[in-house]
Amino acid sequence: MSAANIAATGNAKTMEAERAGNKYKQVEFMKNYLGQEFDGIISGVASFGFC
pTM beyond 0.75? no
* Consecutive 10-residue averages of pLDDT for the chain (51 residues): 72 90 94 94 85 69
Q: What is the pLDDT of residue 29?
A: 95
**pLDDT digit string, tens, across residues 4-18:** 666 678 788 899 999
Which residue range(s) make up the domain with 35?
3-50
Question: Do the Cβ atoms of 51 and 42 come closer than 8 Å?
Answer: yes
Q: What is the pLDDT of residue 2?
A: 79
pLDDT of residue 48: 83
AA identity, residue 1: M
When divided into structural domains, the chain yields a total of: 1
Please tell me the predicted confidence (pLDDT) of residue 34: 95
